[in-house]
Amino acid sequence: MPKTKTTLTCIIALAWTAGASAQWAPVPDPKLPRDAEGNVRMDAPTPKTAAGTPDLSGLWMRTRSGPPPENAGGGGGGQLEPEQAPVPLDPNGPPIAAFFEAGQNIEGGLPYTPWAKELRDRRFALRAKDNPDAQCLPMGFLQFHQQPQPRQIIQTDKMILIVYEANYGLRYIYLDGRELPPQGEPQPYWYGYSVGHWDGNDLVVETNNLRGADEDSPYDGWMDVNGSPYTRQAKFTERFRRPTLGHLQIDLTIEDPKAYTKPWTVRVDQRLLPDQELIEFVCNENQQFERRIQLNQEPASEPSSTP
């Protein structure tokens, strides 16, 4: 079809990306520092609260500092968001997390226990159909941090809320000095129990009492899209820092002796989405994914980062 091909080439030559014109009108924030053209100065100093701590509040999109994201172009999966300039990479920082395979940039991969490796491989062979994100359910923190939909951090002196556009997720992090409860005391929750304290400019958030992959439900305890698990024994430590106005960095460490032979840490970078707002996403409206899929074909095979 040479005519069609020529026409399509012509279309592509004249094409523009619709992303340039969001229909959800931006609401300029008069408090944000701007240059002469009115662009927000993303490298401006970190905002502070009245109490003098860094203020992490804002609408954040995941971004990258490390190698290009997996699945960039080339057949399937598409791009998760328009390509952005990466934030600076700290060569001394922990490995950069990947969305599909959490340990993609960890030498030797994740230190799975045999139990966890078997579970992860079983989940992968089912093409991650039980990934909680696929079921409109709350995700594990590492998946939430990297989800392409934005999240709003609302910080007060007593508490931080993280409101996720994805699957209307909502996390509470208590800053009032309370202790982390013993593991197993509160009932296990999708979001666990999180307490935070300031360590210099880092907000250190510890979480336990999560539902885990050792629950009855297949949707519990997913670290990443491919199915790396965490269990009810998991303890997460996240260090949130905001090096500049426009950059949020989260180092996430998991200790989970049932799933991993040693703790491991990965880094997630996020960029400020200034003058924008969350947009409603009621995931359960018409969720028919389970009805459509067929899993009686050939099992999925590696490489694992393939969508």
Partner 1 sequence: MNRQARLKRMNIGALTGIAAAAFTASLPVAAHHSFSAEFDAAKEIRATGAVTKLDWQNPHGWIHMTVTEICERTAARGPDAVEQEWACRSPAGDEKGADWAFELGSPNGLMRQGWTRNSLKQGDVITVLGSRARDGSTNSNARSVTMADGKRLFAGSSEGATP
Site for partner 1 (CB under 8 A): which residue of 49, 84, 217, 287? 287
Nearer to partner 1, 44 or 283 (CB): 283
Q: Mind spelling out the 3-state secondary structure of the chain? A: CHHHHHHHHHHHHHCCCHHHCCCCCCCCCCCCCECCCCCECCCCCCCECCCCCECCCEEEEEECCCCCCCCCCCCCCCCCCCCCCCCCCCCCCCCECCCCCCCCCCCCCCCECHHHHHHHHHHHHCCCCCCHHHHCCCCCHHHHHHCCCCEEEEECCCEEEEEECHHHEEEEEECCCCCCCCCCCCCCECCCEEEEEEECCEEEEEEECECCCCCCCCCCCECCCCCCECCCCCEEEEEEEEEECCEEEEEEEEECCCCECCCEEEEEEEEECCCCCCCCCCHHHHCCHHHHCCCCCCCCCCCCCCC
Task: Say whether residue 300 binds partner 1 (CB under 8 A).
Answer: yes
Q: Give the contact letters, 173-202, x = binds to partner 1 (CB under 8 A), - = no.
A: ------------------------------
Measured from the CB of residue 270, what is the shortest distance to partner 1 in angstroms? 16
Measured from the CB of residue 81, what is the shortest distance to partner 1 in angstroms? 6
Task: Say whether residue 305 binds partner 1 (CB under 8 A).
Answer: no
Measured from the CB of residue 24, what is the shortest distance to partner 1 in angstroms? 5
Measured from the CB of residue 67, what is the shortest distance to partner 1 in angstroms? 14
Q: Using CB under 8 A, which residues numbered 48 to 107 contact partner 1?
A: 74-82, 99
Q: Using CB under 8 A, which residues numbered 198 to 227 contact partner 1?
A: 225
Binding residues for partner 1 (CB under 8 A):
1, 3-4, 7-8, 10-12, 14-24, 74-82, 99, 126-129, 131, 133-134, 136, 147-149, 165-167, 225, 279-287, 289, 292-295, 297, 300, 306-307
